Structure 1
């Protein structure tokens, strides 16, 4: 496909491109990533005389280059020619010919480059999952990745049309097996004994329903339908029952993808759900993850509440008097530090039947692990946790759940174990994949291993993502990145952990399991600052005092001019969140400091009070920056946890003062705080790296900034506030458009409707494909679990 450099740039530009490529300044080892390459080329371009030639083609080419590596006098280039697809080729100094490199050869080059001391004869474990994906259809167009449900509906409706005997039988059997809470639903197999009888029964039911003389007597209608072989579950009114049965008749006679999805979405299949977040420190009051998992706790609690509401409505629409039950499965921690983490069962506030069910970790002698354990060190406990959790789930639900939802790497792995043993459909939610979050975490895995144990986590990710029935992400780029940069799941396609393993095909992105369903926020808490009547005067006063006035061990900095508009940010002090980078950029920009104050809510002020080494280091760095730039009168630092209600009011107070929300992370998988701010009417500035690209319409509903270029980031902020001074409508416009964007695309109601629909469509797909066909993938995954994962995990204890 690509033969030489002229495939990318014009002939007259090739000498300049070659000059740049073969005069790069190489680190040790000689490997450069995309951002480094573009920065180097920017510097190269500035040094050139414009008369020497146009560099537009080189820019286009280099934006798609992910890595350049120098190996054996060859430049090895990873070129991402389209989403989810890379080409690897080598270039030498003698000519412009491109030498195609296989993934295996590339990983071998890379492994030897990073670990030159490896014996030449050593063979590293190679993992290739590609041969196991022959059991089902796959997508073709990379731009459709993340729309798995659409593809499956098209595929299944086509199968119903082209192979009606087989697929009508599958549909009949699928409808016949449905039960909820021990009650048989939909079809009476004694009266409707096969697909042919189903067609006859449908005709009879339609004739009755269309001529029904008692349209408002739903119970009498149901009694008549039972005699025809149709049990409860078709609807709660004559119009809905008629419409649902008509849909099924149309599917059998003339299959249509939209009709199939809508019909499947009406089948009452989900009333019991288990959400898994094993690593613990999970609760509702002062228990929000530790460390860096507070967003996940908020996500799961809000999802569970919204899911209960949606499932209640869904079951009522089906005509069933069934109350859904949702369990959040997490770890019980006896050393609870004054929280509820030691309670086995805790009801979730403002719900009817949502519970936090805590199951302890156990030592090999079966004694309970009493203390909290970092999410990076919990791996040896998860196998037994899955066994114990299954027993507890069955006890609380009176049987199996209808859906398992894993959260983060540990929850997804436990969901995989439970799905295998219980025969329940499994959904994965990653929240963040550490492989993308920590730069070079695969290449230098042995250096990360003592603290992070990525060798185990990455294997857990591979096993879980390949076993899941479906995976939901908040954004498409979590899966396939952007046109120029690799996505989180895409990074698992091929990689090396030198001396340990080479993955030449770790995930099939073209499998239809991926679906994008962004979350929402609790709109009872995060509502616009203009809705004055909904705001508590007492809460407003308390949060105002905390953010701007209070002086104690949790608050640092007294603002010299509190009337200035605030830059507001809220996050943990982790390197990836880059709050120290934001404060340093603020300190370096005098124009910005003259116009605004910086107010941040971040971790704790005293590093000695932190229980996380990385966080403590960032706290010390923050103090050094504040001192270096003399910012104590310009920066206000609140080192205290804010409850959700307080956080919602904090956003509104910043909006009252004409401020903005800034999220400067070096990478952000999604960005719930961005949504919270938008729902509150606070204009947002957020990192261009990660999920915010799909939340914010740049310069319409907010701004995307490059946190690695602090001068440009603060210049954009300065320009915004200058324009606000010139025209007050400018701020209001971004406030309004951000709110409209959040309300139309990011709500929990939309999320739960789609999640439930996915469960039902993938439930039919899971039933329709032969489990025998997927057996080889299952067996390979089991081998990796027992022979690699468990063996390495046990060594952590």
Structure 2
């Protein structure tokens, strides 16, 4: 798993135990379902317990199914007692097993075997198969494209032979070209090439996936060339077919795969999500496109020709369907936010914080870019009389102009805020920080910011406290302008250290190499999981597949 996707509003539910009952709280519907704890085993449903599912056709006939849990672990690979390693499973596995395996020089023979079997299209790329001794100095192929890189590879191998340790092993394996083909799963959103911007879940999908593919292809070509190989990598995007394309082209590829009938929802129910204690669970965070987003201080690369459009967008006195309210005081810093309008994004919550906090309204103007939830927003504008301090602008689809908008707000010593109720990974947060804009982001979800050093965390469920943090920052910047520069520099440094596509690829490559090595050495085939899945095929899937009618029927 490369990174955590946006969970969506439908996942805002919680499970917890109270006394002897299992309760499920639905936040949106304010409904609590009760269930006797006796229906579970040790607090968790038995993975093979038969249940009755409600038919989606509206009839009373139950559909038999099974509860499925991916929590079937290799007995030697669980990291459940090491919570700090959550999301870094392969690194934990490497440290844990290196200490056991590499206890003497003779134990390095599995490394030789691994290098011998590593090939591309049947051709060995690392060592000659005639080598039988682990200390033979012969090698072939992928040592490097220059004498210097070949020498670095040999030195790493010598260090590993003389004093094996997890870090040296990771560095050595990371230089072995193992990734030539990549499959990227994009299971939701209107992913296509045309006419999809502005639809739910589309912005993040298009930006994440297309930027990811471009960055991966570039880095893979560069890496393979440095290893002295002439191989063209292949990247395949697998996305779902949408029955309702809503005027987009996202359902026009591979039409032969569209099922005429589908009866498999009764196959099973998943009672657990990703097992975060599994060594295969690793979080690799994406980055911003550095060719588009970079520091506002790089004046020569900026496109100031957009400034007239941006000033019209922000400060125009014209109000219409696309732009609502005006800003009277142009000298105030701007607090800016941008997101699709989804209740989870909590943009109306932000407007309410701003409206209630007089001190904050005296210090800054608020500019919101969003797409919908019009009725509630109109009500907040009237309730708190926000016209003059608040500007609601239309959704901007030009990424280059959005970048200049970030920079323009930097010039005004403003800030960016992301007040979502939950955000697994905020791309707009990364973009704003890359441009040098001080950023306030929700503490609920994936935390990109180092609090106080590169930005600020705010709790969307403690509104007064969040508004105070915002007001304190701008008040301090008014007294000491260098405080704004300090947070801005911290934001850009944080991105350079953690969230670039180059860092993403290097980590992905290292994790792939490490897991591939340990899978070969320890034969981590996960037979338990395989048998578990075969059970569904034998007991349920095969019968359901036979019942699917032919297209002609």
Which SS does the other structure have where 1:274 is aligned? strand
1:363 is displaced (CA, Å) by: 4.2
What residue number does 1:483 align with?
Answer: none
Aligned partners of 1:457, 1:632: CA distance in 2, in Å?
A: 53
1:581 is displaced (CA, Å) by: 0.6
User: Which residue among 18, 34, 37 is the counterpart of 1:69?
Assistant: 18
What residue number does 1:776 align with?
Answer: 528
Provide Cα deviations, 1:601-639, integer angstroms capped at 9, x if missing partner: 1124xxxxxxxxxxxxx3322222223223233321123
Aligned partners of 2:244, 2:19: CA distance in 1, in Å?
A: 52
What residue number does 2:128 align with?
Answer: 188
User: Which residue among 143, 164, 175 is the counterpart of 2:84?
Assistant: 143
Q: Does 1:739 align with 2:507?
A: no
What residue number does 2:49 align with?
Answer: none
Provide Cα deviations, 1:398-424, integer angstroms capped at 9, x if missing partner: xxxxxxxxxxxxxxxxxxxxxxxxxxx
Alignment CA distance shift 1:163-1:725 (3 Å) = closer
What residue number does 2:59 align with?
Answer: none
What residue number does 2:225 align with?
Answer: 316
Worse overlay, 680-689 or 174-183 = 174-183
Provide Cα deviations, 1:22-80, integer angstroms capped at 9, x if missing partner: xxxxxxxxxxx99xxxxxxxxxxxxxxxxxxxxxxxxxxxxxxx9562558xx99xxxx
1:589 is displaced (CA, Å) by: 1.9
Question: Are the aligned partners of 1:334 and 1:341 in contact in 2 as well (CA < 8 Å)?
Answer: no
Alignment CA distance shift 1:458-1:588 (3 Å) = farther
What residue number does 2:102 align with?
Answer: 161
Aligned partners of 1:181, 1:758: CA distance in 2, in Å?
A: 22
What residue number does 1:364 align with?
Answer: 259
Alignment CA distance shift 1:297-1:769 (3 Å) = farther
1:173 is displaced (CA, Å) by: 3.6
Aligned partners of 1:286, 1:641: CA distance in 2, in Å?
A: 14
Question: Are the aligned partners of 2:90 and 2:511 in contact in 1 as well (CA < 8 Å)?
Answer: yes
Alignment CA distance shift 1:266-1:769 (3 Å) = same
Question: Are the aligned partners of 1:684 and 1:702 in contact in 2 as well (CA < 8 Å)?
Answer: yes
Q: Does 1:592 align with 2:338?
A: no
TM-score (norm 1): 0.57
1:333 is displaced (CA, Å) by: 6.9
What residue number does 1:558 align with?
Answer: 326
Which SS does the other structure have where 1:515 is aligned? coil
Aligned partners of 2:383, 2:256: CA distance in 1, in Å?
A: 45
- Unaligned 5+ segments in structure 2 are 1-12, 24-36, 46-63, 549-553
Alignment CA distance shift 1:332-1:71 (3 Å) = closer
Aligned partners of 1:518, 1:561: CA distance in 2, in Å?
A: 39
Aligned partners of 1:785, 1:671: CA distance in 2, in Å?
A: 38
Greater C-alpha Rg: 1
User: Which residue among 619, 628, 632 is the counterpart of 2:383?
Assistant: 628
1:728 is displaced (CA, Å) by: 1.8
What residue number does 1:576 align with?
Answer: 344
Alignment CA distance shift 1:311-1:568 (3 Å) = same
Alignment CA distance shift 1:279-1:690 (3 Å) = closer
1:125 is displaced (CA, Å) by: 5.8
Alignment CA distance shift 1:178-1:546 (3 Å) = same
Higher relative contact order (CA 8 A, sep 6+): 2
User: Which residue among 114, 123, 126 is the counterpart of 1:174?
Assistant: 114
1:726 is displaced (CA, Å) by: 1.8
Which SS does the other structure have where 2:102 is aligned? helix
Which SS does the other structure have where 2:486 is aligned? helix
Which SS does the other structure have where 2:391 is aligned? strand
Question: Are the aligned partners of 2:327 and 2:365 in contact in 1 as well (CA < 8 Å)?
Answer: yes
1:786 is displaced (CA, Å) by: 7.9
1:660 is displaced (CA, Å) by: 1.1
- Unaligned 5+ segments in structure 1 are 1-32, 35-65, 77-99, 109-122, 206-229, 344-357, 367-379, 384-452, 463-491, 493-505, 605-617
1:580 is displaced (CA, Å) by: 0.8
Alignment CA distance shift 1:521-1:128 (3 Å) = closer
Alignment CA distance shift 1:456-1:599 (3 Å) = farther
Worse overlay, 267-276 or 664-673 = 267-276
1:251 is displaced (CA, Å) by: 3.9
What residue number does 1:754 align with?
Answer: 507
Q: Does 1:548 align with 2:315?
A: yes
What residue number does 2:179 align with?
Answer: 270
Question: Are the aligned partners of 1:600 and 1:637 in contact in 2 as well (CA < 8 Å)?
Answer: yes
- How well do the aligned residues superpose, as a CA RMSD in angstroms? 4.0
What residue number does 1:668 align with?
Answer: 423
Alignment CA distance shift 1:166-1:127 (3 Å) = farther
Question: Are the aligned partners of 2:241 and 2:258 in contact in 1 as well (CA < 8 Å)?
Answer: no
Provide Cα deviations, 1:534-554, integer angstroms capped at 9, x if missing partner: 111223333332343365432
1:342 is displaced (CA, Å) by: 6.2
Alignment CA distance shift 1:528-1:284 (3 Å) = farther
Aligned partners of 1:278, 1:128: CA distance in 2, in Å?
A: 20
Report which of the two has the higher share of helix.
1
Q: Does 1:532 align with 2:299?
A: yes
What residue number does 1:298 align with?
Answer: 207
Aligned partners of 2:254, 2:65: CA distance in 1, in Å?
A: 38
Q: Does 1:199 align with 2:134?
A: yes
1:124 is displaced (CA, Å) by: 10
1:680 is displaced (CA, Å) by: 1.0
Provide Cα deviations, 1:155-210, integer angstroms capped at 9, x if missing partner: 44345435877862x43343233333564422333x33xxxx2436x24x3xxxxx
Which SS does the other structure have where 2:469 is aligned? helix
Q: How many residues align?
A: 506
Alignment CA distance shift 1:198-1:283 (3 Å) = farther
